[in-house]
Amino acid sequence: MRKQNIQTGIIAFLVSVLTFAGFQYFTGNNQQTVRIEHHNALPSQSANYAGTTAPSGNSYPDFTATAEKVVNAVVHIKSTQTMEASNSQRGLPDPFRDFFDDFFSPRFRDQQPMTPSPQVGTGSGVIISDDGYIVTNNHVIANASDIEVTLQDNRSFKASVIGTDPTTDLALIRIKAEQLPTLAFVNSDEVKIGEWVLAVGNPFSLNSTVTAGIVSAKARNINILRDQYAVESFIQTDAAINPGNSGGALVNTSGGLIGINTAIASPTGSYSGYGFAVPSNIVNKVIQDLLEYGIVQRGVLGIMIRSVDGNFAKEKSLSVNAGVYVDSIMENSAAGEAGIASGDVIVGIDQLAVDGTSRLQELVARRRPGDRISILVNRKGKEKTFEVTLKNRSGNTAVVTRDEKPLFDVLGAELQPVEAAIADKLGIEGGVRITRLYPGKLKQQTQVQEGFIITKIDGTKITGVEQVADMLKDKKGGVLMEGVYEDLPGAYYYGFGL
């Protein structure tokens, strides 16, 4: 019996060996080896590392030197707005009631004046010169009657507004101080997606807050600026940015200024992972214009555009999947005069790639009327280069002179002559149209709206923008504007004081 059991075991063992050998023979040639590689750390050219190591052996990024360098040049801004009491009389303030009372309904005559109520907002700013020039966001100081700047060393100063640009949401202010710490601009075109950055500001009035992250994307448009000629080509970062960070610094690990923090994308109003900064190259150009001219000079191509993607390229049978499609050419446009035509796809400007409308707007916004730029287009599969001389919105290459600066600084408005056809339609002899409003007397003291056509100032007929500038250049005291709206009946009167 025992002998039989031994024989049975030997047979079972041999069967198992033969079965395993047969399986290896028939399947071994079809097996694949999958190798999964793990990298505990990837090299970085943008981050500095401390000597202290984590338990796993990895080095921690160390931003202490950069933070110490940057934080002293970022300031806290308190902006106070005094809301004017509304008298509901088509924008006419109290000083003019006694003179023009007959124009208005009697129900307003006994109305008690309302007490102005101050509203206080806070934000950040970046010192860019040691004699007190500070760049911030326009929305931080818009319509402010008082601006207070607090430095890192707790000194406080009153600030004056040098100029603003709502199209990029930037503003330049100044305090009376000397030998201040500053941040230097660096070329934002060289910023790479994935590199380390620091955001410095005053979120929730928590002064001198530093957060770290990476550049998540470039040339991002989030449709946050409502201006007709807005330029959005933001640097996107995951460094924590919250309310109060607006106007603060976005810097690289060397402490160079690569952007001004401006907005967040959030369902709650607080940080949810995405922050946006105006690139330093745009900031630098805007600041130079404000210093030199008092207003931003904006060159335009005079074209209607849209971004190219795969679906649009297929629809239009294009040979490229990225770029800016020229939908139409406007009359007297800079692009049209240079030879660019409808159906062209702009793929580069001055040897820099253009992959969408945001990037194109950024590159053009960095130039002035009269500047020449080289535009590379793809036309039916072939590349062509055109030399384009940029124009202004009026169709010429002139820039706004210093003589016109009071018009923009005091009124806070852009004006253009009314078109002859519109004047005939409205039955007026002429005038100037308010095409854009930004912080100034008109916004602070009246309810005038964009589109208002000024026909008279202090009873004098208005025929051109230069005439308005001349009349207001040395004006003191009250000013009364008379005019019409294209789509509203009747005459309107707005008064303000200088």
3-state class (DSSP) for residue 73 = helix
What tokens appear for 364 in the block?
């053009």
Identify the active-site residue in 165, 169, 289, 355.
169
Q: What tokens appear for 66 in the block?
A: 């950069």
> Of 446, 299, 460, nearest to 367 (Cα)?
299
Residue 76 near residue 149 (C-beta atoms within 8 A) = yes
Q: 3-class SS at 473?
A: helix
Reply yes or no on whether 139 is catalytic: yes
DSSP conformation letters of 74-126: EEEEEEEEEEPPP--STT--GGGHHHHGGGS-GGGTTPPPPPPEEEEEEEEEE
169 catalytic residue (yes or no): yes
Q: What angle do CA 448, 103, 485 make, to 5 degrees?
A: 35
Amino acid symbol at 67: A
Neighbours of 213 (CB within 10 A): 19
Per the residue annotation, which of 76, 79, 124, 139 is the catalytic one? 139
Could you tell me the two tokens for 379? Answer: 């036309």
Judged by phi (left if over 0) then psi (alpha if -120 to 50, else beta), residue 490 lies in left
SS3 content of the chain, % helix, strand, coil (to 5): 25, 30, 45
Q: Count other C-beta atoms under 10 Å from residue 352's C-beta.
A: 12
From 124, 188, 216, 246, active-site residue? 246
Q: Residue 357 and residue 336: Cα distance in Å, rounded?
A: 18
Residues assigned a catalytic role:
139, 169, 246
